[in-house]
Amino acid sequence: MHSNQEHQNSLDLQQYSLILKRRWVVIAAVTASIFGMSALIAIRQKPIYEAEGKLLFSKTDRVSFLTNPSAQVGELSGVTQLSSPLDTEAEIIRSNPIVNKTITSLNLTDKKGIPLTIDEFLKKLKVKSIRGTDILTISYTSSDPKEAATVVNTVMKYYLANNISVNQAKARTAKVFLSTQLPEIEGKVVRAEEALRQFKERNKVVALDQEATTGVERLNDLSKQITQAQSDLVDAKTRSELLQHQLKLNSQQAVDIGNLSQSKAVQEVLTEYQKVQNELAVAQTRYTNQHPEIVNLRTKAAALKKQLAMRVSENANSEKSLPTQNLQMGEFKQTLTAQLVQLNVEFLALTNRVKVLQDAYTISQQRLSVLPKLQEKQQQLERQLQVARGTYEELLKRSQEVNVLVNQNAGNAQVISTALVPNKAANKITLHLLLGGVLGILVGVGIALMLEAMDRSLKSIEQAQQLFNYPLLGTIPHLGQKSQADEAEFLVKLPLIDNPCSLANSAFEILQTNLDFSVFDKPLKVIAVVSSTFGEGKSFVASNLAIVKANMGLKVLLLDADMRHSCQQKIWKLHNLVGLSNVLVGQAEFSRTKQEVLVNLDVLTVGTILSNPAALLDSQRMSLLIQDAVQNYDYVIIDTPPLSLFGDALMLSKVADGILLVIRPGVLDLAVAKTTKTMLEQARSRVLGMVVNGVTTESGSGYYRSRGYYGRKRSALSQINFKSGVSGD
């Protein structure tokens, strides 16, 4: 596919080159005309002078920085990424106010003395940037060199004045803006400070970061203390339970026994009671129970027991009665009882400590869980305060600076090169001539292509092959013969006689060879040479083809059957008093009417032109004439009328072995060619092939570029002699 595309591109380029060759006269005439006009205009132009000045721009003006807190110093930026600040300034220079001031102040007029319009002024004014710099060049053209320089300097002066005025207006606007913004920003600072203070007081915040660190450490410490206290509590409880089991006393009883053992009143009554008990025991060994002494001792013991119980209840907290034997204990038991009491006290203390530690842990944990939110809120308030303070300090600083700029003539442009009076004209004659030449070539090529598009004639061999799709039997080079269909078209008709070594000789030899190989089923003896329209050279081809056949030693009859526009008598310069028409109507005999023009070549001219030639050509006499000629000649070549104009050729094709179609590029119209193709198909005529006549380098495909080879060819041709006495038109 890639090679096909390259081939197609090559064909297109070849086609355009052929068009340019065909229309070179038109292209040359148009180019010369436009180039001449450009040269005349360039020469007649008055001297034009051009003065130039330069402005340097700083990257930004300070007012923009003061009014826009986000602006960066030294940055001259546009509204969009595609905009160019220098282009913007260039348009300001070309703006109507500055242009009007310049025209008015300098009283600029045109050739008629009328004040210049803005459009006329702008045509002479050029403002452009120097690539890679922050410099604008301003130039003005005029026939007066002083005027050109004055205009440029005046434009720069008014622009700078306008620039300063705009900057001062911006400074005043900035001052008003800053004076209204400062109190508002200051109020924001005060409110932000108050909000932060209230937050710290309400949440008892001093340093949240330190508090979070110490809080975590405190939680770890409390956790350790709780674990230790709980361990001690379990130990105390275990030892208390063991002592209670050994003493068979609970903790309260142990406390009460300890208190009673230390009470003097209880111990005195207990001692007295034990004494009476002992006396009662001794007395009972000696006396009966009813003995007065036994009764007395029992009464005394009961009184002491009651008194002991009363004193025990006064000194003990336990509701249960204590055994009397426990009221007096030994030293060891007292020690154990004291230990039990001590363990009970320690247990209660440890229980209370665990509770206190757990409460403290819960409180610390709750505080730590709130700290992130408090820290986030504090950071938000501090950030608001910081932004408010920063904005306030920045605006305060810029307010002080803008007060200085209000009365300052500051701009972002300065003149680095004033316009000088030019001493050399800026006319560009060479450029005008070059543009005129280029424009002339473009217009000439355009007109040539337009004429080519309007020309509906067949232009090349390739186009003929695509249209007719018949075998190409030969191509005849252009030899100077005219192509117009008129009576004076015969300039070169018999090149095979006039110049036997010419390129045409080789072309016709190739044609007759291809004709011999075009038919295989039967001998080819009768050939009808036809064309689509006048001027394609069918008579020229027929006569020269007859010469080639005769030169090969074959006996040939050239029959002129074109009763509409006969040519053979003019080509061979024969008389035409009698001919084919006279033979067909019985006024003459064929053997006496034919005329010998070369050895082995006879010509039968058309004869007297009758009113109804078609009837004669389609008659029985015509068929008999051809049959008779076939018996006496090796080849019969019939010259016929054009196909698109008359039907004579189709009638003659019935008696011929085949048709040779003659085509000439530049003469044959495409519509006529399509009509011819249709007629041949409908008549089912046997077309041997086509021969392209009048081929040039524009219409051909380079076939005849080897002309030098044929020019050097020297073939032994037979001597050709005209029959003496042959003459005519």
The pLDDT tens digits for 419-438 are 888 888 766 666 666 777 78
Question: Could you tell me which of 592, 565, 581 has the C-alpha nearest to residue 617?
Answer: 581
Block residue for tokens 């450029």: 431
Is residue 13 over pLDDT 80?
A: no
Task: Give the range with max mean pLDDT: 72-81, 361-370, 461-470.
Answer: 461-470
Share of the chain above pLDDT 70, in %: 73
Would you list the domain boundaries of the chain?
1-45+427-455, 212-378, 496-711
Chain centroid, CA 654 distance in Å? 67
d(CA 310, CA 325): 16
Q: Pick the more confident residue, 172 or 600.
A: 600
Q: pLDDT averaged over the chain?
A: 76
User: Where do runs of H (alpha helix) occur along 204-291?
Assistant: 208-247, 251-261, 264-284
Q: Which residues does residue 695 pair with via DSSP β-bridges, in sequence order?
A: 477
- Which of these ranges, 50-54, 681-685, 709-713, has the smallest mean pLDDT? 709-713
Task: Give the range with max mean pLDDT: 22-26, 213-217, 225-229, 249-253.
Answer: 225-229
pLDDT, position 349? 84
**Which tokens in the block code for residue 505?**
């000789």
Buried b (16+ CB within 10 A) or exposed e, 55-75: bebeebbbbbbbbeeeeeeee
- Which of these ranges, 192-206, 458-472, 647-661, has the smallest mean pLDDT? 192-206
Q: Pick the more confident residue, 698 or 561.
A: 561
Burial class (CB in 10 A: 0-12, 13-18, 19+), 8: exposed
pLDDT, position 85? 84
What's the mean pLDDT in 620-631? 91
Block residue for tokens 């009464």: 299
For the stretch 475-486, pLDDT in tens is: 988 875 544 444
Is residue 717 over pLDDT 60?
A: no
Q: How many CB atoms lie within 10 A of CB 170?
A: 19
Q: Pick the more confident residue, 706 or 224.
A: 224
pLDDT band at residue 260 under the 50/70/90 scheme: low
d(CA 169, CA 652): 101
pLDDT, position 649? 78
What's the mean pLDDT in 33-40? 77
Q: How many CB atoms lie within 10 A of CB 685?
A: 21
Phi-psi region of 156 (alpha: psi -120 to 50; beta: other; left: phi over 0): alpha
Is residue 134 over pLDDT 70?
A: yes
- In the chain, the amino acid numbered 150 is T
d(CA 602, CA 599): 8
Is residue 341 over pLDDT 80?
A: no
3-state secondary structure of 470: coil
Is residue 488 over pLDDT 60?
A: no
Share of the chain above pLDDT 90, in %: 15
Neighbouring residues of 594: CB distance < 8 A, sequence distance ≥ 6:
557, 602, 603, 604
Neighbouring residues of 547: CB distance < 8 A, sequence distance ≥ 6:
494, 496, 497, 508, 598, 601, 720
Is residue 123 over pLDDT 50?
A: yes
- Which of these ranges, 162-166, 445-449, 578-582, 710-714, has the smallest mean pLDDT? 710-714
Q: How many CB atoms lie within 10 A of CB 421?
A: 13
d(CA 605, CA 593): 8
Rounded (to 5) percent helix, strand, coil in the chain: 60, 10, 30
What's the mean pLDDT in 167-182? 79
pLDDT band at residue 221 under the 50/70/90 scheme: confident
Block residue for tokens 């009698």: 578
Is residue 723 over pLDDT 70?
A: no
pLDDT band at residue 70 under the 50/70/90 scheme: very low
d(CA 443, CA 427): 25
What's the mean pLDDT in 307-335? 59
Q: What is the DSSP letter of 654?
A: T
pLDDT, position 729? 30
Neighbouring residues of 659: CB distance < 8 A, sequence distance ≥ 6:
527, 528, 529, 530, 649, 653, 680, 685, 686, 687, 688
DSSP string, 407-445: TS---SEEEEEPPPPP-S----HHHHHHHHHHHHHHHHH
pLDDT, position 265? 63
d(CA 573, CA 606): 13
What's the mean pLDDT in 696-713? 46
3-state secondary structure of 283: helix
DSSP string, 339-390: HHHHHHHHHHHHHHHHHHHHHHHHHHHHHHHHHHHHHHHHHHHHHHHHHHHH
pLDDT band at residue 704 under the 50/70/90 scheme: very low
What's the mean pLDDT in 670-686? 85
For the stretch 529-569, pLDDT in tens is: 999 888 888 999 999 999 999 999 999 999 999 888 888 89
Is residue 157 over pLDDT 70?
A: yes
Radius of gyration over every alpha carbon of the chain, rounded to an integer in angstroms: 68
pLDDT band at residue 715 under the 50/70/90 scheme: very low
d(CA 414, CA 160): 7
Task: Give the range with max mean pLDDT: 56-70, 246-260, 555-569.
Answer: 555-569
d(CA 153, CA 418): 6
Is residue 7 over pLDDT 70?
A: no
pLDDT, position 340? 66
Distances (CA, A) of 221 to 217, 352, 353, 367: 6, 18, 14, 16
Neighbouring residues of 251: CB distance < 8 A, sequence distance ≥ 6:
240, 244, 340, 341, 343, 344
Is residue 724 over pLDDT 60?
A: no
For the stretch 354-392, pLDDT in tens is: 888 888 888 877 776 666 777 777 778 878 888 888 888
Q: What is the pTM of this model?
A: 0.45
Which CATH class, in words, describes the domain spanning 496-711?
alpha beta
